[in-house]
Structure 1
């Protein structure tokens, strides 16, 4: 409230100063016409000095005196008619002063509504960082987060037949009797999740990771974090954060972990970090990736919270022909088919060469050359992709199946 009082006082003060200036019709101790008279009289004296020095002729001096004298008479008449107010029309001046006050006050409110955050208290950067650190330090663990979420018991999947439920019971008993059975633990985690038993699912996944030891992948950790966060109704607990960090330590490009890390950063009031994480993930992802819609829904808001001017890029579709595109050309003549397919492939190839693209687009280009039978060109694109995505194991793993299908990789 104090902020609004100060802003309103400043706006009214500025508007009052400008309005009084308009109403007075002058600046300083004298009306404008009085200043004009002083200037014209100085000009007459200057003409006499220039004539005495021989700078101008007598005829020019007389002509200038006549013009300046005319202006002196006009200014004197204006001074006599206007008096101390300067001759400004009172009604129009008062109206202009009122309009000016509205513009100053209204403009300030409009500007603040666009650039400010009405209703929010003052949040200095140092205080926000301290609050974020406190939020991290007091984060609930997984058990407390699940208790706080208080989710209702999971309903039995209507597609789960009695036979399936009987098999699930046998699977649980088998895993209990054989705790080192990696395949059994993997099946148990997946099927518990399918039944909606998320707490049981993430516990089974934790046991699986423990059994795998150093062989546990980033995807294994990301799945566990996904199950934990959903079991807590979207809350990223301190335990879930540790699992996310473990996944990203093994593969910094793991998309599920990157998405949930951004969510965690929002929850601990670090929208700057969340924006950087999600923006890069959006750039690296295929348009149909499951995390893309929630990111696109929230990213502009997150950017605004972070103080970043950002506009979502348009939704892109993967360019270039797929195997389905090529099959759809079956009704065309061979020449038309070749022209259409090669044109699409060429456009995609040129765009990737100049602007780059996602791993899915590189895979599509390699696959297209493989379908066309241009194995040599597919091999060249596969080699180029390995140079572009060097060190990015996730991207190369996404492209490799297309190269294998094209016969240029093993």
Structure 2
């Protein structure tokens, strides 16, 4: 209620100020008839001079004096009475003041109804920070989030891939201590849309890795948990992200999901700083970079940053064009597979003859892994390791791509 009273008072104050400007006497402005009065007096003196020089006759001079004197009397009357023939009338001024008041008061209320939060109490910064902390502490856990998440549409798997996945499950079940088997199972369960089975296998990967578990393995676990919860970052996923960032504070995927978590608990200000720092330190072709760029403008608005640099306009990694994507959507699975192989072969030939960026080498390794050509992917990985041995950022990309392709170290 206090806010509405203040809003009304401010609107009325502005209306009163404008009304005063319209109706106040113009003390420092000369009456329009005063100028006419000076002119007529000058004309009267001029008649006397002309008569003395003999320019005009006495009768004509008397007639002109009479006319000028009449005009002087009329002008003087106007000056003394304060009546002016120019400017709006009092009725017009009153109507104008009423309209201004209606627009200011009514417009302010209408705008606040549409854009404001009518009925909400004051929310100072300290209160909002407390709300964010409380939300972070009391938000739903992973199991509850999975129950509330919308059902995931399972992708249609080819029969051959489905059989291989079933064989992998049986093999891992018979060899519970096989680290590489669990790595492959976690990856392929996730690819098949079985996110819960994916993060369960990834938990086993971390358990078997022990103290050697990497930031990437913890980050992968967090991503699978998030996918299983429909994009929600649960406390369990937060713990996995925290462990990943403790091992590697600059690990891009973990920093991306950490920003998502901060955004979900009501801290877009910190999320914006995390994402902008991530963009500055990440390779241009990294997968998480595109996801951040697609959301950074909206995040800047929510964080109250109105002079943010245009990070969404940064160059992206080369890839298939929109025309290629549309053409692929109309193909049969066999034709699409052939097209992918053709693109992979083109990339492979170009890297072999002209070289390329670490992102392109990593993309080739990942693509070969998807196509099942693990031996060739391993050879490309070994070649890339030799080529980029002195570039730690490039090595991280190559290592990540090799793991996605299911290659052993």
TM-score by length of 1: 0.60
**Distance in 2 between residues matched to 1:75 and 1:21, nearest whole Å:** 27
**Distance in 2 between residues matched to 1:288 and 1:91, nearest whole Å:** 70
Query: In 2 relative to 1, CA 293–91 (structure 1 residues): closer, same or farther, beyond 3 Å?
Result: farther
For residues 86-165 of structure 1, what are the structure 2 equivalents within 5 Å? Answer: 89-91=89-91, 93-94=93-94, 97-98=97-98, 100-101=100-101, 117-119=116-118, 121-149=121-149, 151=151, 155=154, 157-161=155-159, 163-165=160-162
**Distance in 1 between residues matched to 2:260 and 2:116, nearest whole Å:** 22
The answer for the alignment partner of 1:344 in structure 2 is none
The answer for the alignment partner of 2:280 in structure 1 is 283
Tell me how far 1:179 sits from its aligned partner.
Answer: 1.9
Equivalent residue for 1:173, pick from 158, 170, 173: 170
Bigger radius of gyration: 2
Tell me how far 1:89 sits from its aligned partner.
Answer: 3.9
Q: What is the DSSP-based 3-state SS (H/G/I as helix, E as strand, rest coil) of the residue aligned with 2:287?
A: coil
Contact 2:293 2:312 in 1 (8 A): no
Query: In 2 relative to 1, CA 359–102 (structure 1 residues): closer, same or farther, beyond 3 Å?
Result: farther
Contact 2:219 2:240 in 1 (8 A): yes
The answer for the alignment partner of 1:249 in structure 2 is 246
Contact 1:33 1:79 in 2 (8 A): no
Q: What is the DSSP-based 3-state SS (H/G/I as helix, E as strand, rest coil) of the residue aligned with 1:295?
A: helix
For residues 74-89 of structure 1, what are the structure 2 equivalents within 5 Å? Answer: 78-82=79-83, 89=89
The answer for the alignment partner of 1:313 in structure 2 is 311
**Distance in 1 between residues matched to 2:218 and 2:270, nearest whole Å:** 21
Contact 1:11 1:108 in 2 (8 A): yes
Matched residue count: 300
After the TM superposition, list the runs of 4 or more consecutive aligned residues in structure 1 that deviate by more than 6 angstroms: 31-34, 106-114, 358-361
Tell me how far 1:232 sits from its aligned partner.
Answer: 0.3
Q: What is the DSSP-based 3-state SS (H/G/I as helix, E as strand, rest coil) of the residue aligned with 2:294?
A: helix
Query: In 2 relative to 1, CA 167–248 (structure 1 residues): closer, same or farther, beyond 3 Å?
Result: same
Tell me how far 1:228 sits from its aligned partner.
Answer: 0.5
Matched, 1:206 2:207: no
Could you say what the CA RMSD is over the residues aligned between the two structures, in angstroms?
Answer: 4.5
